[in-house]
Structure 1
Amino acid sequence: MAETQQVDETQPDAGAQRKAARLAKQIGAFARSHGGSAEGQLAYIGQAGTRIVLVGEDGGWGDLVAPTHDIARLAAERAGITLHDSFDGDLAGKVRTGPYEWSRMAGIQVGGPRNT
């Protein structure tokens, strides 16, 4: 009689595991360079995947893109960051922007660079 193996369908494949590990490493580096920890939010961006928006302790912010929502969630879990359901309230209030961001957001209305 042949032996059968049961496959755990909930585990990501090896490629997804590696991608999540790389993203977790990048999230960790971001956190270390912005005060030691970070918080985040996952945003589905269509076929491009899922955007991992990060906010550091110092208010610095950045983002990464994962090919799937599952990989993004796994990377955030491995990095040990707190995930928020939406980018509003407490999380948005922690973001600190500088002159560059303000001029880019305002664009030509206030003499900043054009948003092209």
Structure 2
Amino acid sequence: MAAADSSKQAARLAKWIGSFARRHGGSAEGQIAYVGQKGFRISLVAQDGTWGDLMAPSKEVAEAAVERAGITVKESFDGEMAERMRTGPYEWSRMAGIQLGGPASSR
């Protein structure tokens, strides 16, 4: 991947991360994890407990994105981060749906 392409991808991801943090209390924490050939997942938990994730094609792009966005990055998705997550009706119905025949999942 060309350096210019990587820089553009990191800038786009950083813009999304920053927007997410501003919409949900002003700050967020993240964790970067390798997920195989698909790349690296940036998991985010905002100040208000809203959570989400996005994908980066490489570790370098993921690291550049979180650095540009100015968020705290943790080595692991620890209990403290997980404890702050807030799940709503949608998430509960999806989790139950997978087990109990609720809303269809993309299996």
TM-score by length of 1: 0.83
1:86 aligned residue: 76
1:63 aligned residue: 53
Counterpart code for 1:89: G
Q: Does 1:38 align with 2:28?
A: yes
Count the aligned residue pairs.
105
User: Where does the alignment leave 5 or more consecutive residues of structure 1 unmatched?
Assistant: 1-11
Q: Does 1:24 align with 2:11?
A: no
User: Where does the alignment leave 5 or more consecutive residues of structure 2 unmatched?
Assistant: none
Aligned-pair identity (%): 64
Among 74, 79, 88, the residue aligned to 2:64: 74
TM-score by length of 2: 0.89
Equivalents in 2 of 1:67, 1:110: separation in Å?
Answer: 34
Higher helix share: 2
Equivalents in 2 of 1:77, 1:108: separation in Å?
Answer: 36
Equivalents in 2 of 1:72, 1:54: separation in Å?
Answer: 12
Counterpart secondary structure, 1:100: helix
Highest CA radius of gyration, 1 or 2? 1
Give the number of the structure with larger relative contact order, counting CA–CA contacts within 8 Å between residues 6 or more apart. 2
Residues 39 and 54 of structure 1 are in contact (CA less than 8 Å); yes or no, is this contact kept in structure 2? yes
Q: How large is the RMSD of aligned CA atoms in angstroms?
A: 1.6
Equivalents in 2 of 1:110, 1:48: separation in Å?
Answer: 29
Residues 50 and 65 of structure 1 are in contact (CA less than 8 Å); yes or no, is this contact kept in structure 2? yes
